[in-house]
Structure 1
Amino acid sequence: MILVSSCLGGIECRYNGSHAASEKIRKLVDEKKAVMACPELLGGFSTPREPAEIIGGTGEDVLNGTAKIVTASGEDVTELYMEGAAKTLAYAKEINASAVILKENSPSCGSGFIYNGTFSGKKITGSGVTAALLKQAGYRVISENELNDIL
């Protein structure tokens, strides 16, 4: 079973209330080859919500306590992101996920790129906190841009 970001499956759960649907991912879900999860909703966020970025590093740094995740207005929301990451990992274990496809650039789900923490639209190489936790646990985590690598 493949675990995918809910927004990629067409659920309107992104910070701005939109989705980022991929027809290939919707097909995987429809064929019962994939299931969806949104780490941010699992962490307790609602939709829509204020944008957030990792300040001071990447998801790996958030996990080791040297970076945090804050909203554009400066609220520290690290704990909610950490809770969502932990619940997503538990779900991946529960379904025995063979791979995980997450939404690129997100402070939760980015697997190769995230925003740089300045809220300027600039990106850096790195993972979001959920992607980092799943990678540490040994899961293969890719973005929607790498979908053909596993199909």
Structure 2
Amino acid sequence: MTKILISACLLGRPVRYNGSSLSVESSLVSDWRNSGMLVPLCPEIAAGFPTPRPPAEIEHGKLGPDVLSGEASIFENNGRDVSEQFVLGASLAVKTAHETGCRFALLADGSPSCGTTFVYSGHHDGKTRDGLGVVTAALLEHGIEVYSQHRIQELASRLR
């Protein structure tokens, strides 16, 4: 059976930085859940972050691959560097995907971990920019196809 690593927040779990979820209403996701295809994970919680926690962003001008290579950092809005925990979360996501046989991932766009098409600016100003989060970059490096919650139909087509 094909397995899909999924951001736990997309399944209604209150694990986001502010203690909320980002539930997706999709019959496809419901069907995948009911058939046992989904492997839920919040990489930030897996890496030891609490909920709630200060918002964090990849430094301006850099993206997830830069954090993985040690050329960039992720900072909370209070200035604390949390790069190591985010890299740990990415490593745990890759490990989980491999151990459970996930060839695909459905992640929450925008997060410094799970952003697949955009992340926040790095200035904690609410603005976004194109790019990948740390987990997305790590999964792609390991051959796992990644989709955002806005691309569920594309994932479904790929699964057929």
> Structure 2 CA distance, aligned partners of 1:31 and 1:124?
35
Report what 1:6 is aligned to: 8
Other-structure match for 1:126: 131
1:18 aligns to what? 20
Could you list the runs of 5+ residues in structure 1 that have no partner in the other structure? none
Determine if contact 1:8/1:26 at 8 Å carries over to the other structure.
Answer: no
Distance 2:113 2:64 in 1: 8
State the TM-score, normalizing by the size of structure 2.
0.91
TM-superposed CA distance for 1:123, in Å, is 0.9
Tell me which moved more, 48-57 or 29-38.
29-38
Which entry has the higher C-alpha Rg, 1 or 2?
2
| From 133, 143, 151, the counterpart of 2:148 | 143
Given that 1:9 and 1:29 are in contact with CA atoms closer than 8 Å, whether structure 2 keeps it comes out as no
Letter of the aligned partner of 1:29 in structure 2?
R
Counterpart CA distance in 1 for 2:44 and 2:31 is 23
- Name 2:63's counterpart in structure 1: 58
Residue 26 of structure 1: how far off its partner (Å): 4.2
2:147–2:155 contact (8 Å) kept in structure 1: no
Conservation of the 8 A alpha-carbon contact between 2:121 and 2:127: yes
Q: Give the conservation status (yes or no) of the 8 Å contact 2:5–2:38.
A: yes
Tell me the equivalent position of 1:46.
50
Matched, 1:89 2:91: no
Q: Which amino acid aligns with 1:5?
A: S
Change (3 A) 1:49 1:27: farther
User: Displacement of 1:16 after TM fit?
Assistant: 0.3
Distance in 2 separating the partners of 1:12 and 1:28: 20
Give the drift of 1:31: 2.7
CA contact (8 A) 2:118 2:131 kept: yes
1:4 alignment partner AA: I
Asked whether the equivalents of residues 103 and 143 of structure 2 are also in contact (C-alpha less than 8 Å), the reply is no
Amino acid at match of 1:19: S
Alpha-carbon deviation of 1:44?
0.6
Question: Normalising by the residue count of structure 1, what TM-score does the alignment of the two structures yield?
Answer: 0.96
